[in-house]
């Protein structure tokens, strides 16, 4: 079955350490996204990528970095510069079409809960 | 910038009853899409229903339907015959296709509890 896999489900790190969250999809989707979810805040966009080797900052990119070396993979690194990294992180993907009309909504992974102490 | 407002942080409904979740949005765009996502305790985000702004007909998916009022910028979700499995966070989301990117803007969510 096609889908999006995020690993690990739970991640614990000490303050000051960088940590990388994995996101892999086998849906053959061009676009991938990272969202952060905090209680009472909804989902906020961190980074997104429309094609391989290209990505754009979202609304809250500070303290995060990404790479898109393969179509299937879009890892997110939470750096020590991120002041409040403890949160639930969701990866998503979607089809993109020429002409700017999306024909499908976002498909989400199951998320990674990051706790930094 | 687009904003999405869900004015009901929490709601409850008796099993088999009907409930309506509110969502309003603000945009200057004319071409856009609206979605309702469900997030159960497992935290998996699941698409419930979507609406294209250029379609006047309200979208329906089984027990789920929307009341799309474009002039009022309102997009409410109606759940009929509520079931225990409908207990979840519900997020309204707005998407404007532009410059090749498809960024969803989410509301802060409504926590729905279905009571037996």
Q: What is the CA radius of gyration of chain A?
A: 14
What does the pLDDT read at residue A42?
85
Partners of B19 in beta bridges: B79
Q: What residues of B are in contact with residue A47 (Cβ under 8 Å)?
A: none
**Is A88 at the interface with chain B, CB within 8 A?**
yes
What does the pLDDT read at residue A100?
45
What does the pLDDT read at residue B92?
96
Three-state secondary structure readout of chain A = CCCEEEECCEEEECCCCCEEEEEEECCCCCEEEEEEEECCCEEEEEEEEEECCEEEECCCCCCEEECCCECCECCEEECCCCCCCCEEEEEEEECCCCCCCCCCCCEECCCEEEEEC
pLDDT tens across the length of chain A (117 residues): 679 999 999 999 999 999 999 999 999 988 899 999 998 788 999 999 988 999 999 989 999 999 999 999 999 999 988 989 999 999 999 887 544 445 467 889 999 999 999
**Is A101 at the interface with chain B, CB within 8 A?**
yes
What does the pLDDT read at residue B74?
96
Query: What is the arithmetic mean of pLDDT over B78-101?
Result: 87
Residue in B9, B44, B91 closest to A43 by CB: B91
Residue B60 has pLDDT above 80, yes or no: yes
How close A117 gets to chain B, by Cα (Å)? 23
Residue in A33, A42, A88 closest to B91 by CB: A42
How close B5 gets to chain A, by Cα (Å)? 10
Residue B82 has pLDDT above 80, yes or no: yes
Residues of B with CB under 8 A from a CB of A: 4, 9, 33, 35, 42-47, 50, 91, 95, 97-104, 106-109
Report the C-alpha gap between B24 and B43 in whole angstroms.
24
For residue range B34-49, what is the model confidence (pLDDT) as tens digits?
999 999 998 989 999 9
Contact between residue B11 and residue B21 where contact means Cβ atoms under 8 Å apart: yes
Give the chain A residue nearest B104 (alpha carbons): A45
B86: helix, coil or strand? helix
What mean pLDDT is reported for chain B? 91
For residue range B61-79, what is the model confidence (pLDDT) as tens digits?
999 999 999 999 999 999 9
What does the pLDDT read at residue B95?
84
For residue range B6-20, what is the model confidence (pLDDT) as tens digits?
999 999 999 999 999
């Amino acid at each position: 079955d096609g889908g999006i896999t995020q690993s690990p489900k739970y991640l614990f790190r000490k303050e000051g350490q960088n940590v990388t969250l994995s996101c892999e999809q086998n849906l053959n989707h061009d676009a991938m996204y990272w969202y952060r979810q905090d209680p009472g805040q909804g989902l906020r966009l961190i980074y997104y990528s429309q094609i391989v080797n290209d990505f754009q900052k979202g609304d809250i990119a500070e303290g995060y970095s990404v790479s898109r070396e393969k179509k299937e993979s879009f890892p997110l690194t939470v750096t020590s510069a991120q002041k409040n990294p403890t949160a639930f992180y969701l990866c998503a993907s979607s089809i993109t079409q020429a002409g700017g009309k999306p024909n499908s909504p976002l498909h989400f992974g199951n998320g990674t809960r990051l706790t930094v102490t | 910038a687009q904003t999405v407002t869900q004015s009901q942080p929490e709601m409850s409904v008796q099993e088999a009853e009907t409930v309506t979740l509110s969502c309003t949005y603000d945009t200057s765009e004319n071409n856009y899409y609206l979605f309702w996502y469900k997030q159960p305790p497992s935290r998996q985000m699941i698409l419930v229903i979507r609406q294209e702004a250029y379609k006047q007909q309200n979208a329906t998916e089984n027990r789920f339907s929307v009341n799309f009022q474009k002039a009022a910028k309102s997009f409410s979700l109606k759940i009929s015959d509520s079931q225990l499995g409908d207990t979840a966070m519900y997020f309204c989301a707005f998407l404007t296709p532009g410059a090749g990117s498809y960024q969803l803007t989410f509301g802060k969510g409504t926590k729905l509890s279905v009571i037996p």
